[in-house]
Structure 1
Amino acid sequence: MKLPAHHRYAHSAIPNRPVYDWPGGRRLALLVVNNIEHFAFRAGLGSDSTSLSPVQNQRSYAWRDYGNRVGLWNMLETLDELGIPAAHNINSAALEACPEIGPALRARGDEFIGHGRSNSERQDILWEEDERRLIEESRDVLARHAGVAPKGWLGPYIAQSSVTPDLLQEAGFTYVMDWPADDQPFWMKTRAGKILSVPYSVELNDSPALIARQHSAREFAEMITDQFDEMLRLSEKRPLVCSIVLHPFILGQPHRLRPLRQALRHVMAHQDKLWVTRPGELAEYVAGLPAGIIPGSEA
């Protein structure tokens, strides 16, 4: 039987790969990645705090808007308190609608990652010309607010069309986080070169965990500590990437912020064993490794 295939990367079993170190001889890289999103009012797509079948009304809009008005600032204070650098998947519309966000992220030295124009729309249903326009518009707005063009991309709803990697590579992006296939980075083929896949968890991610699977914040905090502890153990054998994915309108709520802070304190208590970094820095390090080390680098 021949199944449809993507041909973006070849199979690779993690025990059979070369072993390498992260900077400083560390074996576990920690990525804390936050999502900053802006939505249409009473239209388009968007999650809902009370239902798995979202209704786009003023309540669901306001719940999500809480993230940019309050939740983000709660989270940034927590990250400052713990000394954790972060990266942010940012809807370009959020930077235009909320002028305080860009300067605050720049002051922290955080990374701006392309995340489409708005999470009220998806890119995987667009014609190629329209998807290219979405990518370029998002890139250009982020570049204007960050002072440098973004190198990384996560599509709204982690969705891609059949040509998204090609369009991203052609628009100057060097890595994507839409392919949760591995705990190590790997190179993917595009029609004009390669693009790196950086690990980004859909498991250790507050949106599917708390909204779709209805876990509590304390259960999510336990997920963080369990994932981290086990990956720290596994990293004795090989380099790994532990990504923790957050949304301000979810984890920025005070009652959820407390268990998150406790879990992050547990993680940072092992800081001497970690490379606490951002996706762009990790991608840059991987790009400098010799050919044959990272899956897909042989081609």
Structure 2
Amino acid sequence: MPRTIRSHGRYRYSAIVDRPDFDWPQGRRLAVYIGLNLEHFDFGEGHGSALAAGRREPDVLNYAWRDYGNRVGAWRMLDLFESLELPVGLIVNSTIADYCPELVAAYQERLDTELIAHGRTNSESQNAFDEPGEVALIAESRDRLSEAFGETPNGWLGPSIAQNETTPDLLAEAGFGYHLDWCHDDQPTWMATRDGGRILSVPYPQEINDIPSIAAHHIDYREFAARIVDQFDEMYEQSRDQPLVMGIALHPYIVGQPFRLRALRRALSHVAAPRDDVWLTTPGAIARHFMSLAPV
């Protein structure tokens, strides 16, 4: 008997070359967004990317390194995004609302932004909770961000990008229209949820993402900037055949460091240059446009 592989049951296989064609707004073929992660951590809990691994708690070194992103790096990146007139998807831990709400407020005031829920803190992994605990986590993150920043998030990225088997169901039931947790495609994908519902998966990168690339794989920061450029150029060409989504996932404590920021500026200037031919946007705008074209 052939072995049967267990399936998640959320979507069927679909080759990108076999799908119906469509355009992004104004006939554009490549949608590009920046996902900026604004994260806050428990002191002494030992979670998050590590500048130096294996240290005992309280780990002042790694905690302070991550806090640099909120205190300095994100503000420098705000100037960069504003100079290039780039929209930004703000992927925000809800505890940011208590720690440094002025950071999110400044982005909302100066840029075209979208608020995306990112749990309470990245000191938690979403799949460490049972279902009632996860329901509470999702609701608390959504409601606190809405209360603090006047915008109810429609999109979700889980802390640690960790889902339980029922997470898409819980997100849909909490009113979220899309999530960013899966990196399986270059186009949005409808995912089935229980009781006949659905939620949209918008592509979120794990290769064009500074944590896996720089913190985990230890590539040179100039190589990361070159990857952004090459990803953009290749997807720009590929999008002649299929409309595509390119995400750029950034964390201010990593690429907000001055030497990395300079290389990032060069890469994003390259991406922004043909703005009349590509759609520089946010994940939520991508989701809304796709839903308007493919509502089922």
TM-score with structure 2 length normalisation? 0.96
Matches within 5 A, 1:213-252: 213-252=217-256
Residue 19 of structure 2 aligns with an amino acid whose one-letter code is R
Partner residue in 1 for 2:289 = 285
8 Å contact kept, 1:31–1:242: yes
Residue 238 of structure 2 aligns with an amino acid whose one-letter code is L
Does the residue aligned with 2:126 lie in a helix, a strand or coil?
coil
Aligned: 1:35 with 2:37: yes
8 Å contact kept, 2:183–2:203: yes
8 Å contact kept, 1:95–1:101: no
8 Å contact kept, 1:111–1:278: yes
Deviations 1:92-121 (A, max 9, x none): 011211131231122123111010000001
Aligned: 1:177 with 2:180: yes
Aligned: 1:186 with 2:174: no
Q: Distance in 1 between matches of 2:209 and 2:12?
A: 26
Q: Distance in 1 between matches of 2:241 and 2:79?
A: 35
Q: Distance in 1 between matches of 2:199 and 2:205?
A: 18
The alpha-carbon deviation at position 244 of structure 1 amounts to 0.6
Runs of 4+ in structure 1 deviating by more than 4 angstroms, as ranges, are 53-56
8 Å contact kept, 2:10–2:193: yes
The alpha-carbon deviation at position 290 of structure 1 amounts to 4.4
The number of equivalent residue pairs is 291
Q: Distance in 2 between matches of 1:224 and 1:280?
A: 21
Q: Distance in 2 between matches of 1:113 and 1:39?
A: 18
Does the residue aligned with 2:280 lie in a helix, a strand or coil?
strand
Aligned: 1:163 with 2:166: yes
* Structure 1: stretches of 5+ with no match in the other structure: 292-296
Q: Distance in 2 between matches of 1:44 and 1:161?
A: 22
Partner residue in 2 for 1:76 = 78
* Structure 2: stretches of 5+ with no match in the other structure: none
Q: Distance in 1 between matches of 2:223 and 2:56?
A: 26
Partner residue in 1 for 2:135 = 132
The 3 A distance-change label for structure 1 pair 24 and 267 is: same
Residue 39 of structure 1 aligns with an amino acid whose one-letter code is F
Does the residue aligned with 2:127 lie in a helix, a strand or coil?
coil
Deviations 1:261-290 (A, max 9, x none): 000111111111101110111111111114
- What percent of counterpart residues are identical? 50
Taking only aligned residues, the RMSD between alpha carbons, in angstroms, comes to 1.1
Deviations 1:119-160 (A, max 9, x none): 001111211000000000000011112212100000011110
8 Å contact kept, 1:205–1:244: yes
8 Å contact kept, 1:47–1:54: no
The alpha-carbon deviation at position 80 of structure 1 amounts to 0.4
8 Å contact kept, 2:86–2:280: yes
Deviates more, 1:41-50 or 1:172-181: 41-50
The alpha-carbon deviation at position 42 of structure 1 amounts to 1.1
| Structure 1 counterpart of 2:154, from 151, 176, 190 | 151
